[in-house]
Structures are given as C-alpha cells and as structure tokens.
Amino acid sequence: MKKLIAVCSILLVIAVAYSCKKSAVVSGSSVYLDLPTTPYPYYDSFAFFQPDSLNRKATLGRVLFYDTHLSLNNAVACASCHKQEYSFADNVSFSVGYEGRLTKRNAPAVMNVQGRQSFFWDGREINIRNLSVRPISNHVEMGITDPSTLPQKLAALPYYSNLFLSAYGDGQITVDRISDAIAIFMQAINTAPTRLDRYVDGDSTAMTAQEVAGKALFDSKYNCSSCHNGGVRPGMFNNFYGGGGGSSFLDIGLDNNYVDMGRGTITGIATENGTFNVPSLRNVALTAPYMHDGRYKTLSDVIDHYSHGIIKTPNLDPLLINNSGNALQMSIPDQDKQAIIAFLNTLTDYQITTAPRFSNPFKIN
C-alpha cells in the first residue's frame, strides 16, 4: 500500500534502482530495493542490547539473504531455497542451486535458530555465523569457492556501502560482517505463538476437540513427543514440539541400507550411521516434503511410515523397536491419523509467511 513511499530511503540511503544483469529477472525490467525509512523492529520485543543497531544489521542481513549476487552466476540467493511462503524451507525434495545442481538433502525451515546447539540434518555446524558463509562457498548451493572474493563483488553494487555504513558505522564490507548480518537476520526469524500455544496457555477454545484428541495421541498413545518435544528454550517463549534443537540425532527406520549416513558421516561413529536431527514440527504444515531427503510428500505419508513403514535398520531407535525385537508398527487407524494431522496443523504460524520484515526487499519495476 504505502510501499512506494518506502522505495525512497533506507536511513540516509537512497534506495538505488539498478538493472540486474544476469539474474532471473525478466529482461528489460529493473530491480530496486524497497526498504523502510526506519528499520523494522526485528529485535524490539526482547530487551536486547542495542536493538537499533541489531535492527540495522538485520536489515542488511535481509538484503543479503535475498540477493542473488551472493552466488557466482548471480542466479541463486539464500531465499531461492529457503522460501518465506514455506516458513523458509523449500517445497521440493532437493533444491536447485548453482547451475541447476541439486542439493543432497531437503532444505529445512530456517526459523527459531536461537539456542540451537547445531545446524543441518547431521549437526555438522555449530556456529550460525560460519553457516551463513558456507552455503555461499558450497559448490552445490551458490558456486562461490572463496568467500573472500565476495566483499569486492558486493562493493561494486550501488546499495551496499550505505547499508554497511548504517549497520556497522563505516562502509567497509568484510566476510565477517556479511556472516554477522545474515546470522542476525536469521536469528530474528522466530515463529509467533500459534493456536497450540494459546491452548497450552489456558485458552481451551483455541483448539477443536479433534485437535485436542490429536495432541493426546501424539503425546501419549503413540509417544511421538518422546522425540519431538522441544519445551522452552533459553531466551525464547514456548517452543513445544520444536524438535531436538540440534542435540539429538536418531534413526527412524527409513532405509535398510543407509543411502545417506547422516550424523555418522560427521562423527565416524558406526552407531550414528543413518541418524538425523529430530526436526522441529513448528510450521510442519508449511514445510512439505518431509524427512532429510524429502521422500514424503504429505503428513499423511509421514504417519503411514510410523503406522506400518518402519524398517528394522541397524541403528533403529529403541523407541521404535517392539518387545520381540522387531520394528514397531504403530498401526495407526485412520481416525487417529486425521486427529494427529489436525493437531500438527495447530503448530502453524501463518504470519511468518507474509511478514514484510522477512520478505524479499528486491522489487521489480
């Protein structure tokens, strides 16, 4: 609506209309940066030290996150695979990166990263700041092998020196600052309270009878919450069903021969082969397809796996082994399945999919 007013400035900065040479933009059109005059309040709801400075860094991080110039051929941005409409996950099993190459795993939702102990399906990264630069230098994802070439490349674009000036007090562009700003932006992507949270906080009208039944099935009858728990993380409000936070890696019996060794690849420990991070189920309704390889298209497919698809893999989690030592078949009747799916839908925060502060700041004329 009043967006056009915002076209004009970022603090001191005049947003610059520039033509995009190689990006996937319709030829002949021009791309411009649309940033608010006063940075969005990414950090105002928490009493963080220097929220203004954090907000300016997050603003820069947002631009970097959406900027295809972070890839070698100016065609791939972080947001190409981490899409806002899907809670910053991708809606395909394997994402398309640099020169059309596919990722080896399903792109997870980037959200609620604060307090996480590790990242990626195998937990190979523990520092979110490193993680911001690694996809850039990863051949499959963005094609840039040496991130130290990036500052010079970005400096040639008309909009960055002012954005770095605003965020860091001078216009110098460094790899550290690039990582820092992207990390600060990602740390601001937190899910808002959902219907489940309202219910847990005492509003019994926030969930339907079927959803409440589904919650009980998930928590008790089928013990899903033994693994998908989450609880409350430091510095965050409720994160029930938020997953292991990058601290637990388990094998749920997907493949007899591990196609992907998961955590085992990183630790070299044989009993960790085929184990993967317990994913957060926040926004799970938005993040299909599912599992580390995106093998299941729907939540119904996922429940079918637990119902009758678990395979007795070498490292199958003991919770999924029955008394006779075989793979557990939960045999979930259709009514229970529908209730669990209804419950999983109460974990959805739809605001994240449209919030302007997380959206693509590059607009096309």
| Site residues, ligand HEC (CB under 6 A) | 70, 76, 78, 80-82, 95, 97, 103, 105, 107-108, 110, 113, 119-121, 131-132, 135-136, 141-142, 182, 186, 218, 222-224, 226-228, 250, 252, 254, 276, 278-279, 281, 284, 287, 290-292, 299, 302-303, 306, 317, 319-320, 330, 340
Question: Shortest Cβ distance from residue 110 to ligand HEC (Å)?
Answer: 5
Query: Whats the size of the chain, residue-wise?
Result: 365
Question: For residues 125 and 266, what is the distance between their CA atoms, to the nearest angstrom?
Answer: 10
Q: Which residues contact 197 (CB under 8 A, 6 or more apart)?
A: 237, 238, 240
Question: Shortest Cβ distance from residue 21 to ligand HEC (Å)?
Answer: 19
Q: Compute the half-sphere exposure of residue 356: CA atoms within 13 Å on the CB side of its CA.
A: 11
By beta-carbon proximity to ligand HEC, the closer residue of 9 and 210 is 210
For residues 286 and 89, is the Cβ–Cβ distance under 8 A? yes
Question: For residues 252 and 92, what is the distance between their CA atoms, to the nearest angstrom?
Answer: 21
Question: Shortest Cβ distance from residue 52 to ligand HEC (Å)?
Answer: 23
Q: Give the amino acid at 253.
A: G
- Count the Cβ atoms, other than its own, within 10 Å of residue 311: 14
By beta-carbon proximity to ligand HEC, the closer residue of 45 and 130 is 130
Question: Shortest Cβ distance from residue 259 to ligand HEC (Å)?
Answer: 11
Tokens of residue 302, six digits: 């996922």
Tokens of residue 326, six digits: 């075989």
Tokens of residue 144, six digits: 């840039």
Rounded to 10 degrees, the C-alpha dihedral 64/67/69/74 comes to 150
By beta-carbon proximity to ligand HEC, the closer residue of 8 and 24 is 24
Q: Which residues contact 166 (CB under 8 A, 6 or more apart)?
A: 10, 11, 12, 13, 56, 59, 60
- Among residues 114, 109, 47, 34, the alpha carbon closest in space to that of 78 is found at 109
Question: Shortest Cβ distance from residue 50 to ligand HEC (Å)?
Answer: 22
Question: Shortest Cβ distance from residue 31 to ligand HEC (Å)?
Answer: 18
- Among residues 99, 78, 81, 96, the alpha carbon closest in space to that of 22 is found at 99
By beta-carbon proximity to ligand HEC, the closer residue of 107 and 154 is 107
For residues 11 and 56, is the Cβ–Cβ distance under 8 A? yes
Burial code of 163-175, b = ≥16 C-beta within 10 A, e = fewer? bbbbbbeeeebeb
Question: For residues 275 and 253, what is the distance between their CA atoms, to the nearest angstrom?
Answer: 9
By beta-carbon proximity to ligand HEC, the closer residue of 202 and 318 is 318
Question: Shortest Cβ distance from residue 191 to ligand HEC (Å)?
Answer: 13
By beta-carbon proximity to ligand HEC, the closer residue of 6 and 361 is 361
Question: Shortest Cβ distance from residue 33 to ligand HEC (Å)?
Answer: 18
Handedness of CA 345, 211, 277, 271 (dihedral sign): negative
Question: Shortest Cβ distance from residue 161 to ligand HEC (Å)?
Answer: 20
By beta-carbon proximity to ligand HEC, the closer residue of 6 and 330 is 330
By beta-carbon proximity to ligand HEC, the closer residue of 196 and 320 is 320
By beta-carbon proximity to ligand HEC, the closer residue of 32 and 222 is 222
By beta-carbon proximity to ligand HEC, the closer residue of 271 and 365 is 271
Question: Shortest Cβ distance from residue 90 to ligand HEC (Å)?
Answer: 7
Tokens of residue 10, six digits: 């970022």
